Amino acid sequence: MPAGRGRCAPMESVEVNTALLSAIVNSDALPSMPVVAFKVLELCRQEDVDVKDVADVIAKDPALTAKMLRLANSSMFGMSKTVASLDQAMMVLGLRTVKIMALGFSLVDTLKHDSATEFDYPGYWRRSLTTAVAARQLADIVGDIRRDEAFVAGLLCDIGMLAAERHPEKIYRPVISVHREMKGRIQDIETALLEITHAHISALMLANWSMPEMVCQAAQAHHGEGIDTLKGRSLILAKTLWAASEMAELFCGDIDAAGYGAVRDHIQSILGVAPKALDELMAQINQQVSEAAEMFSIELAEEISFDEIRRTAMMQMASLSLSAEQDRARAETKAREISALNETLRARAEFDKLTGIANRQTFDDHLAAAIDRAVGGAADLGLIMLDVDHFKKFNDTYGHLAGDEVLKTVGQCLRKISDETQFAARYGGEEFAVVVADIAARDLRALAEDIRKNIARLRVRHGGAELSVTASLGVAHVNFGEERIDSNELIRRADGCLYDAKREGRNRVEITF
């Protein structure tokens, strides 16, 4: 039969390997439409068909008759009394359901087994019946489509796998092999290896078997491919099959149980099914699949329970949560390390390594900012420049390490007076500076005298010797409400006074106003 025959051709928006598609669908290895199913279809096309005529055709197939009775007595219809005859079953089921279910039963019988293949038939039927049951349940929630249509569409939307598997050139074996080893979504493996998916094959096979166009279109789009080209009931059925097939992938292990939350979110997004309703549906699936398998006389692969899926998902989420917490803790530790490193680098950049007080660059920045504030507030500002007396003698007599100890001790002395208004820094060599904000000239001179006296009281121990230290101090005071000078001028004035202090005998304070 030509690939284009039937009521549903491949969607034009989907690029497929059309040559391979035609070769698979026209393969002699595929079964023809079962005689009983064909006659049922023919009868149902007649406008004035009688249910009894359809029953007579079905009655000629004892196996199909038994399946119809099981169907009428199944939980799908929930009859209070046992349906004992085919005529009763026909009345209970209705003509539309009889037609589509007869097709489903007959086609499944033609595709059940092939002992010469490595194909996992029990796994396939577990997948197909799970899709069918889920689609039927979702149809009840979504509405607008018949539950029997959804069931049969779900049951048959994957038959393209069987068709590809039965191709004489064994083209499907690599797909089977990769899927067995790696699991994952089989349609992705098919696309990578064959440039076609079982959905394309299923749609064309169903069309050639004269299945309703809506079922053919939904089968082709049941993994989402080309679904945006559909409308109306075909779109609703396709979305229902898409959701049902993802649930089947979850229950068959193609999607890891950890993906349960993502599957549930996706189904909610495409069908609007509330999470609670979806959980209740999933909790019932395996029992209904087992019932359907008995009705179809199909052997199934081992089930994965919904509780196991949820438990695995919760464990995975807990693991991810723990991992996230560990990542957060590591990130916090790293942040603290970076902060500590930045603080260390900042200290190295801002402070003098030897004395521990601010360095020259930090002093320059602070003085410039202090002058800006003083100008803005028309405030007083003072600068004390001090120089360790006879520092060269410490180095020459006791060595440079002794000189370093002297500088450290003086730096510690100045650090004690540093606060919000008094800022001490090492200016360079044996010279230090103190910036003093908001201070009157008289108080500034008193502070300088206190500093001089405190330094004079210092005793530096080095190599068993106790060294005395003194310093000369030059002080400059400015009221920025009366005059405006820059930092260079302020330093020049303080330096001039420092020179005078040294010239006048050292260990003294000189100030300029």
Q: Once rounded to an integer, what is the mean pLDDT over residues 340-348?
A: 67
Q: How far apart are CA 156 and CA 162, in angstroms?
A: 10
Residue 299 has pLDDT above 80, yes or no: no
Residue 110 has pLDDT above 70, yes or no: no
Does residue 297 or residue 306 have the better pLDDT?
A: 297
Residue 457 has pLDDT above 60, yes or no: yes
List the domain boundaries for the chain.
Answer: 1-29+112-303, 32-110, 305-350, 360-512
The predicted-structure confidence for 173-202, as pLDDT tens digits, reads as follows 888 888 888 777 888 888 888 888 889 888
**Would you place residue 7 in the very low, low, confident or very high pLDDT band (cuts 50, 70, 90)?**
very low
**Would you place residue 345 in the very low, low, confident or very high pLDDT band (cuts 50, 70, 90)?**
low
Most confident of 162-171, 177-186, 212-221, 362-371: 362-371
Q: Once rounded to an integer, what is the mean pLDDT over residues 468-496?
A: 95
Element housing 133 (H / E): helix 121-142
Residue 22: its pLDDT value, please? 79
Q: Which amino acid is at 284?
A: Q
CATH of 360-512, one of 3.40.440.10, 1.20.1740.10, 3.30.70.270, 2.40.30.10: 3.30.70.270
- Helix 51-59 crosses helix 62-72 at what angle (to 10 degrees)? 120
The predicted-structure confidence for 64-107, as pLDDT tens digits, reads as follows 777 778 777 777 666 666 777 777 777 777 766 776 677 667 66
Return the minimum-mean-pLDDT range out of 86-90, 140-144, 174-178, 240-244.
Answer: 86-90
| The CATH number of the domain covering residues in 1-29+112-303 | 1.10.3210.10
Residue 306: its pLDDT value, please? 62
Does residue 38 or residue 161 have the better pLDDT?
A: 161
Compute the mean pLDDT over every residue in the chain, rounded to the nearest whole number: 81
Q: Is the dihedral of CA 358, 362, 364, 369 positive or negative?
A: negative
236-266 core/surface letters (b: 16 or more CB in 10 A; e: else): bbbbbbbbbbbbbbbbbbbbbbbbbeebbee
Return the minimum-mean-pLDDT range out of 6-20, 280-294, 463-477.
Answer: 6-20
For 272, half-sphere exposure in the C-beta direction (CA atoms, 13 angstrom radius) is 6
Q: How far apart are CA 163 and CA 159, in angstroms?
A: 6
Q: What does the block give as tokens for 166?
A: 């039965």
Most confident of 26-40, 82-96, 459-473: 459-473
Residue 14: its pLDDT value, please? 45
Return the minimum-mean-pLDDT range out of 200-209, 325-334, 457-466.
Answer: 325-334
Strand order, beta sheet including 431-437 = 422-428, 431-437, 380-388, 471-479, 509-512
Residue 137: its pLDDT value, please? 87
Between CA 39 and CA 88, with CA 293 as vertex, the angle to 5 degrees is 50
Question: H-type helices in 297-305, by residue range?
Answer: none
Residue 132: its pLDDT value, please? 87
- 70, β-bridge pairs: none
pTM greater than the 0.75 cutoff: no
CB 95 within 8 A of CB 44: yes
Q: Is the dihedral of CA 384, 389, 392, 396 positive or negative?
A: negative
Does residue 387 or residue 215 have the better pLDDT?
A: 387
Residue 13: its pLDDT value, please? 41
